Structure 1
Amino acid sequence: MFGSFLRWVRLNSRKALALVLAPGLIALAFDSAVSHWAGKDFDNRWQAIPVVYGLVGFLLLTAVCIPKSRKVFVWTARGVGLAGMLVGLMGTYIHAVAFMEELAGDYSAANLEGALSVAPPLLAPLSFVGLGAALFALSSARMLLRLRLGSVRAPQAGAEGSSSLAQETV
């Protein structure tokens, strides 16, 4: 059974990596939900966007890894990736505006420390950008991607393969 799983991973490297990245969307959604709503009023509906994106993106990625259609996988991974980059960039902008409002033009060390502790985390939304960019790049046919699972044998000293490898590297 494990051998057939490894064979599937070798034949579907991009889908396998998408399945590895998909739980990251759930983790980002959970982290966003906690940081936006834990002990706070739900006064801003825009804060639901990263949570909804994470849940929907996870479901879409998991669903398109099952069928054999490469085209459906590629377009879904691109869409989820682009949406993640957009969510991350907009979140970074919104957090930066809140940070600047908290500073109110006073850039002293004490005020910077206070703004960093009170304002939303400035760079946290960039995690959506990173995961989205990885998903978008994963769908590109131009990116060479090769997963090698299982035992890898080291070349023996007297084997023909090792001497030809040595000649190629010289």
Structure 2
Amino acid sequence: MFGRLLLWARRNSRRALALLLAPGLVALAFDAAVAHWAGKDFDNRLQAIPVVYGGVGCLLMMAVCVPRSRAVFAWTARLVGVAGVLIGLAGTVFHVLQWWEELGGEYSAASLEGAFSVAPPLLAPLGFSGLGALLFFLPSTKLLLRLRVGSPISGGEGPLKHAGSREVSVSERDERRSA
């Protein structure tokens, strides 16, 4: 069973990475929910956007990794990715505006310290942008992506050793492993 999973991951490395990145959306959504609502009133409905995006984005990415349609996977990953980048950038702008408002025109060390302790974290929403950018570029055919799952090749034959040498066939590599 585990061998079949590893074989699938080797053959579908982009989808395997998407499945590994998808729970990160839920983790970011949970973090945003705690930061926005723990012990606070629900006064700004825009704060629900990153929470909803995280859950929906995770479900979408997990759903499109199973079928074999490359186009559906690519378009969904790019859509979820662009949404993540936009949500992260917009959240950063909202957090900076809130921080600016907390400063109130005073730029002393005490007011800066107070603004940083009371205002929302400035760079936290960029986590959505980073994960969204990864999901956006993941289906790109111009991105060279090699996922090696399993035991490494024995005999010290790493990727740097093969850079200048001749190519080795799969059967030769298997013979070297068994020797």
CA RMSD of aligned residues (A): 1.7
Distance 1:90 1:141 in 2: 29
Q: 1:167 deviation in Å?
A: 8.8
Q: What residue number does 2:75 align with?
A: 75
Q: What residue number does 2:99 align with?
A: 99
Aligned length: 163
What are the Cα deviations for residues 126-149 of structure 1, in whole angstroms up to 9, with x where unaligned? 000100011111121100001011
Q: What residue number does 1:13 align with?
A: 13
Relative to structure 1, the CA distance from residue 11 to residue 49 in structure 2 (aligned partners, 3 Å threshold; closer, same or farther) is same
What are the Cα deviations for residues 2-50 of structure 1, in whole angstroms up to 9, with x where unaligned? 1111110001000000000000000011011111011111010000000
Q: 1:155 deviation in Å?
A: 3.1
AA at the equivalent of 2:151: S
Give the 5 Å matches for 1:143-162: 143-155=143-155
What are the Cα deviations for residues 77-98 of structure 1, in whole angstroms up to 9, with x where unaligned? 0000000000000000000000
Relative to structure 1, the CA distance from residue 128 to residue 10 in structure 2 (aligned partners, 3 Å threshold; closer, same or farther) is same
Q: What residue number does 1:23 align with?
A: 23
Q: 1:166 deviation in Å?
A: 7.6
| Structure 2 residue runs without a partner (length 5+) | 166-179
Q: 1:105 deviation in Å?
A: 1.3
TM-score normalised by the chain length of structure 2: 0.87
Answer with 144-153 or 79-88: which moved more: 144-153
What are the Cα deviations for residues 80-127 of structure 1, in whole angstroms up to 9, with x where unaligned? 000000000000000000000111111111100000000011100000
Secondary structure, aligned partner of 2:123: coil
AA at the equivalent of 1:129: S
Q: Which 4+ residue blocks in structure 1 deviate beyond 6 angstroms? A: none
Q: 1:154 deviation in Å?
A: 2.9
Distance 2:138 2:19 in 1: 11
Distance 1:166 1:9 in 2: 23
Q: What residue number does 1:35 align with?
A: 35
Secondary structure, aligned partner of 1:18: helix
AA at the equivalent of 1:135: L
| Structure 1 residue runs without a partner (length 5+) | none
TM-score normalised by the chain length of structure 1: 0.91
AA at the equivalent of 1:101: E
AA at the equivalent of 2:164: E
Q: 1:51 deviation in Å?
A: 0.2
Give the 5 Å matches for 1:87-126: 87-126=87-126
Distance 1:4 1:167 in 2: 30
Relative to structure 1, the CA distance from residue 2 to residue 103 in structure 2 (aligned partners, 3 Å threshold; closer, same or farther) is same
Q: What residue number does 2:130 align with?
A: 130
Distance 1:166 1:85 in 2: 37
